Chains A and B, each alone.
Chain A
Amino acid sequence: MIEKKILVVEDSASTRNLLASVLKAQGFAVATAGDGKEALDIISREYFPLVLTDLEMPVMGGHELIRNLKGLDFEPVVLVLTSHDEIETVIDIMKEGVFDYVIKPMKADDLIMRINRALTVAEFKKNQHIIEKEKTLRLEQQLEWYRWEERQKTRGKTYSSQSLFSNLRTSFNQGAGLGMLVTLLSIISETAKQDDSGSWLVDDEIFQVLKKNLAMAQSVIERFAEVEWVITNTLPLEALDSTEVYSLIKDTLKSCVPFARLRNHVLMLNDYRIPPQAHVVQVNADFLQTVIKELVINALKFSEKGTNIVSMFDLKGGIAELSIINVPQRSNDEILGIPTEYENIIFEPFFRMGRDVHEEYGSHDFGLGLTLVEKIVQKHNGKIFMHNITDHTDLKVGPQTKVICTLQLPAEALRRT
């Protein structure tokens, strides 16, 4: 989650102190600077997601500060505080790429509302930047992976088939559903007694557990059938405008809010502006919702308590892309997120990163959810990736591992008539 940290840049000492006091009272961490130069000096040592700046200042004014911030590795979101209320000045400010402006005299409620909005945008902006930075690194790592896989193949065995069988074996022995069912049946066959009429007497407690596991096993079989259906059938697709796809994502996220509340997670989605040119995406709305819900629930299950699950939807060069970023928690098996060696096998049937069970999310924990997701995405001619990324922005905490899941679907630009 992004820090509620603000750098206030204002030459008027009384206004600066008033702002600092008000923001601190609202729970923000505040640093102050008397001019743009001082602000740049502070920013060179510490990351601030948000800079709240005056325009008219000695030494270095707000305009020059904003221009300097543009070249930074992690560019903060800028909110301008000004006494200039002329429309031309406001337009000029916005042209400089600032997020918003507050006209003096400031009103406390309005200021806090704009700051909270700006911090939300800062979170999206930061994640977007991390993704871009990771791209080069990922290409290198991907190449390494292919080389490694090639080496394995030349030794006469493929890693994927090996892992599939090993995962099948472990998944069926993980203490829930099918594994437990086999154990229970063994217990019954060994302990059940026959009465005079020839009927078998089974301990009630064992019988209740058997019933519960039967239900689990049935639902796993249903999930098998679902995966099989997707593999063997053609999904009926319909053309949805990119804004409709965005609405579908938004609605699906809303349906996941009760699950997010279980461990105080917050689901966030960026604002999607209508693109200058309309694009359509061929989708099966029901199945796409299944995919998004599965990915969000997956992110919730494996995230640190109380963190944000950030979703970003955008159109990029003929691709409609949804990225879901979460802060992973270390599993009981001491695994953090998705280490590189697991990236290519997480969509395989029965593959599970850890043995933790998450019944509260209504999931099977049999390692079939992502398999279904991948199959549905393939039927949409899309791609899906899931891997760790590193957030270097918090200098106090140090590099932080996050998990990003990227879903890409082909989008077609509509010709203007």
Chain B
Amino acid sequence: MTPEEKRQFIKEFGITAELFDEMYAECLEELRQRYGEFQTALAVADVAALRAAAHAMKGVAGNFRLHGVQGAAAALNEYLKAGGPLSGMGGLAEDLAAAMEAIGVEHQ
């Protein structure tokens, strides 16, 4: 999130910068946790858990205007909802990994 995006967010939601920092850290922690769940589900090919994790990441990232993660998680969610095979979602999973890296959340 750029400083300008942060400023806009604070203005829109009428919160203080301190509160934003606190909630943003909480958001990143939650994304890290959900991404962990996503990776675990991927390892055991649990499609329902994959979808649940992608869906949750899309919502959390969207609320905090993390558009990269939101878009990548939404694309994965759509792909899985349409019944796409796990073998064919490599590119989408890589997009999500890249988006997560961009916001400073590393691979587990």
Q: Which residues of A contact B (CB under 8 A)?
A: 11-15, 17-18, 21-22, 25-26, 54, 56, 83, 104-109
Contacts and interface: CB of A to CB of B under 8 A. Distances in A.
Across the A-B interface, give the 9 residue pairs with the lowest CB-CB distance, nearest first: A105-B62, A83-B59, A14-B27, A14-B26, A104-B59, A25-B14, A108-B12, A22-B13, A108-B13
Interface of B: 12-15, 19, 23, 26-27, 29-30, 52, 55-56, 58-60, 62-65, 70
Nearest to A103: B62
B59 A12 contact: yes
B70 A12 contact: no
B26 A17 contact: yes
A21 B21 CA distance: 13
Given A13-B26, A56-B55, A105-B70, A18 B13 contact: yes
A25 B65 CA distance: 20
Contact of A22 (B15, B27, B30, B65): B15
A54 B55 CA distance: 12
Given A11-B56, A83-B62, A104-B63, 6 more contacts: A12-B56, A13-B30, A18-B64, A21-B19, A26-B14, A108-B12
Contact of A25 (B15, B29, B52, B64): B15
A12 B30 contact: yes
Contacts of A106: 63
Nearest to A86: B81
A107 B23 CA distance: 16
Among B19, B60, B63, B65, chain A packs the most CB atoms within 10 A around the CB of B63
Contacts of B30: 12-14
A346 B5 CA distance: 63
Contacts of B56: 11-12, 56
Contacts of A109: 12
Contacts, number: 59
Contacts of A12: 30, 56, 59-60, 63
A241 to B, nearest CB: 44
B12 A107 contact: yes
A15 B13 CA distance: 12
Contacts of B58: 83, 104
Contacts of B15: 21-22, 25
**Residue among A13, A18, A54, A108 with max Cβ neighbours from chain B (10 Å):** A18
Contacts of B19: 21
B12 A83 contact: no
Contacts of B29: 14
A343 to B, nearest CB: 48
B52 A21 contact: no
Contacts of A14: 23, 26-27, 29-30, 60, 63-64
A18 B59 contact: no
Nearest to B73: A83
Contacts of B64: 14, 18
B56 to A, nearest CB: 7
Contacts of B12: 107-109
A344 to B, nearest CB: 53
B52 to A, nearest CB: 7
10 contacts: A12-B30, A14-B64, A17-B26, A21-B19, A22-B13, A56-B56, A83-B59, A104-B59, A105-B59, A105-B65
A348 to B, nearest CB: 54
A83 B55 CA distance: 7
Contact of A15 (B52, B63, B70): B63
A337 to B, nearest CB: 40
Contacts of B70: 105
Nearest to A25: B14
Contacts of A15: 59-60, 63
Nearest to B74: A83
| B26, B64, B70 interface centre (most CB from chain A within 10 Å) | B26
Contacts of B13: 18, 21-22, 25, 108
A108 B14 contact: yes
A397 B95 CA distance: 55
A108 B64 CA distance: 12
A66 B26 CA distance: 28
Contacts of A56: 52, 55-56
Question: Which residue, of A12, A26, A104, A106, has the highest number of chain B Cβ atoms within 10 A?
Answer: A12
A79 to B, nearest CB: 16
